[in-house]
Amino acid sequence: MLAARRINPLFRNIEKTVKNYDRHVSTGSSLLSMDVANEPDVPKMVTDIPGPKSKQLIKELAQIQNVGAVHFFCDYDNSHGNYLADVDGNVMLDLYTQISSLPLGYNHPAIINAVSKPENLSTFVNRPALGVYPPADWVSRLQNALLSVCPPGMTKVQTMACGACSVEHGLKAIFIKYMNDQRSGEAPSMEEMDSCRVNKAPGSPPLTILSFDNGFHGRTMGALACTHSKWLHKLDLPQPDWPVVRFPDLKYPLECNTAENKAEESKVLEEVEDKIEEYNKKGLPVAGIIIEPVQCEGGDNFASKEFFQGLRDITNKRKIGFLVDEVQTGCGVTGKFWAHEHFNLTDTPDVVTFSKKMLTGGFYQKESFIPKEGYRIFNTWVGDPGKIALLEEVVKVIKEENLLDNVKVTGNYLLSNLEQMQTKYPGILSKARGLGTLCAVDFPDAATRDKVIGYLRAKGVHTGACGEATLRFRPTLLFQNKHVDLFMERFDDVLSQVKK
Ligand SMILES: Cc1ncc(COP(=O)(O)O)c(C=O)c1O
């Protein structure tokens, strides 16, 4: 590691940062770590994006793989805090953060420290098959990184690799629990064990999961069956006949449409009940419901806590599983560690999936959802201890620096600024909404939204799209009011340009 520090320019830069950071932590300074993390004050744009070096690299990559989704190549050595550098020397304020997956920004000193510690060396060097051969520090790492931030009422966690993989196995846990209940906990029959190997009943029962239109849960086959955002994800792929219900379509501003929105959500809850009845009757029993606390990829669609309470009550009444997918909404972005904590549910969810800002995939679950046999929820790695070691640091920083409070303060400021902009540009912006820094605003159409994203990028702000015509904000947990000001100044410029 010392040799690496000598040759890698990142480490030359970082050594100073880590020292500053250590001093900052030891003096108990209330500054956010980002203030000592080499962040530039403003963006710096020197070329169009993608610039010439990015274009050349995209050409080279195209010889190897599909580059249809590649925007530009990045210079991670020179990216710091909330600022992302590209290979052409542009430095952008990043409000999209690797598709919402950077809790502490780029090159955070606490993370670099963790990678540099000799006692962590073997964690990063070896990748064990964790489900079979876990290392001695695995239990304490799980406790520090994952159990210390457990959703209220949950005490069990299973690590996985990515978001889709977590959803996939979360769904399996629900099906397995449902069938275990059907058998009253008895062992499966020989016929069941034989028939499941060739995809036949009774061992492969025709169970279903109810999901919501415009929801997104990943691209593996089980998760994809619950994903209903873009055709691009689903075309040409065989899908099971699983029930889909529309997500409530709330009218904004919320405070002026309370009665109408309440009626809309009650209607959707009725539709959920009807759909479950319909599928139960046609021999495709519903074993569970999957939902995001905020539909993210599908357009940042919100529903009220009463709606989620209603869903939880339906699942409890019918004794079916309730999976809350927090892959994008978890890890503090809404001002609480888990978004569903805002809902005051009558009972905790049965399964809560996570990934993205948590750095590892996985899911929390109620004890009754853990299968009796080993290997039923399993793969070779079941996660990566290196990522858990990094998450330990992330969780420590979140707690030490009260980052959930920071998210609340910055989120309120961001939303109130978006509302002001919406008043200033009524024909262009609508439905400003958000919880914490998970904020969004709509445009009249995708073309206008995409034009604004392009103009913003030229001014040094990297943002992302979702849904049909939505601009979404997915900054780090270290995002502050000063970054909001910097963004708003440029947003105002761009909107006045678009208005002409
Ligand atoms: C709510 C939700 N679930 C699941 C996924 C899938 O995660 P991954 O892309 O890591 O497979 C995503 C990804 O955006 C997501 O937003």
CATH number of the domain enclosing 161: 3.40.640.10
| Angle (nearest 5°) at CA 422 between 418 and 428 | 120
Going by pLDDT thresholds of 50, 70 and 90, the confidence category of residue 2 is very low
In angstroms, what is the span from residue 136 Cα to ligand 1's centroid? 31
What pLDDT sits at residue 396? 97
Closest ligand 1 atom, residue 361 Cα: 10
Active-site residue, 380 included:
yes
Closest ligand 1 atom, residue 220 Cα: 11
The best mutation among 355, 387, 438, 472 to test binding of ligand 1, ranked by most ligand atoms within 8 Å of the C-beta, falls on 355
Strand order in the sheet with 430-435: 430-435, 438-442, 470-473, 464-466
What pLDDT sits at residue 499? 85
Percent of the chain residues past pLDDT 90, beyond the cut: 92
The best mutation among 169, 227, 323, 356 to test binding of ligand 1, ranked by most ligand atoms within 8 Å of the C-beta, falls on 356
Residue whose CA is at the smallest distance from ligand 1 atom 7: 163
From 97, 177, 337, 356, the catalytic residue: 356
What pLDDT sits at residue 500? 76
From 212, 216, 337, 369, the catalytic residue: 216
Q: Are residues 374 and 426 in the same domain?
A: no
pLDDT tens track for 382-429: 999 999 999 999 999 999 999 999 999 999 999 999 999 999 999 999
Q: Are residues 231 and 341 in the same domain?
A: yes
Q: Are residues 206 and 81 in the same domain?
A: no
In angstroms, what is the span from residue 28 Cα to ligand 1's centroid? 36
Going by pLDDT thresholds of 50, 70 and 90, the confidence category of residue 20 is low
Going by pLDDT thresholds of 50, 70 and 90, the confidence category of residue 17 is low
Structural domain includes residue 251: yes
Residue whose CA is at the smallest distance from ligand 1 atom 10: 163
What pLDDT sits at residue 33? 72
In angstroms, what is the span from residue 327 Cα to ligand 1's centroid? 6
Structural domain includes residue 495: yes
Across the range 174-192, mean pLDDT stands at: 98
List all residues whose CB is within 6 A of at least one atom of ligand 1: 162-164, 167, 216-218, 292, 296-297, 325, 327-328, 355
Residue whose CA is at the smallest distance from ligand 1 atom 8: 163
Decide: residue 317, CB within 10 A, 0-12 exposed, 13-18 middle, 19+ buried.
exposed
Structural domain includes residue 148: yes
Q: Are residues 410 and 458 in the same domain?
A: yes
C-beta of residue 280 within 8 angstroms of C-beta of residue 201: no
What pLDDT sits at residue 3? 47
Structural domain includes residue 389: no
Q: Are residues 376 and 445 in the same domain?
A: no
What pLDDT sits at residue 299? 98
What pLDDT sits at residue 4? 47
From 325, 350, 384, 442, the catalytic residue: 325
In angstroms, what is the span from residue 142 Cα to ligand 1's centroid? 22
Q: Are residues 151 and 248 in the same domain?
A: yes
Q: Are residues 373 and 416 in the same domain?
A: no
Closest ligand 1 atom, residue 99 Cα: 14
C-beta of residue 146 within 8 angstroms of C-beta of residue 361: no
Closest ligand 1 atom, residue 328 Cα: 16
Q: What mean pLDDT value characterizes the chain?
A: 94
In angstroms, what is the span from residue 261 Cα to ligand 1's centroid? 28
Across the range 284-310, mean pLDDT stands at: 98
Q: Are residues 206 and 313 in the same domain?
A: yes
Closest ligand 1 atom, residue 292 Cα: 1
Closest ligand 1 atom, residue 326 Cα: 1
Range of lowest pLDDT (25-34, 114-123, 313-322, 397-406): 25-34
In angstroms, what is the span from residue 355 Cα to ligand 1's centroid? 7
CATH number at residue 41: 3.90.1150.10
Q: Count of domains in the chain?
A: 2
Q: Are residues 173 and 240 in the same domain?
A: yes
Q: Are residues 150 and 200 in the same domain?
A: yes
Active-site residue, 473 included:
no
What pLDDT sits at residue 125? 96
Across the range 341-358, mean pLDDT stands at: 98
In angstroms, what is the span from residue 420 Cα to ligand 1's centroid? 31
Residue whose CA is at the smallest distance from ligand 1 atom 16: 328
Residue whose CA is at the smallest distance from ligand 1 atom 4: 217
Domain holding 30, by residue range, is 2-113+402-499
First to last CA, the chain: 55
Closest ligand 1 atom, residue 355 Cα: 10
Closest ligand 1 atom, residue 215 Cα: 1
Active-site residue, 88 included:
no
In angstroms, what is the span from residue 464 Cα to ligand 1's centroid? 15
Q: Are residues 343 and 421 in the same domain?
A: no
In angstroms, what is the span from residue 476 Cα to ligand 1's centroid? 17
Q: Are residues 80 and 151 in the same domain?
A: no
In angstroms, what is the span from residue 328 Cα to ligand 1's centroid? 7
Residue whose CA is at the smallest distance from ligand 1 atom 13: 218
Structural domain includes residue 376: yes
pLDDT above 90 for 23: no
The best mutation among 216, 290, 438 to test binding of ligand 1, ranked by most ligand atoms within 8 Å of the C-beta, falls on 216
Structural domain includes residue 81: yes
Structural domain includes residue 395: no
pLDDT tens track for 240-268: 999 999 999 999 999 999 999 999 999 99
Range of lowest pLDDT (13-27, 177-191, 280-294, 354-368): 13-27
From 380, 399, 423, 424, the catalytic residue: 380
pLDDT tens track for 463-491: 999 999 999 999 999 999 999 999 999 99
Structural domain includes residue 121: no
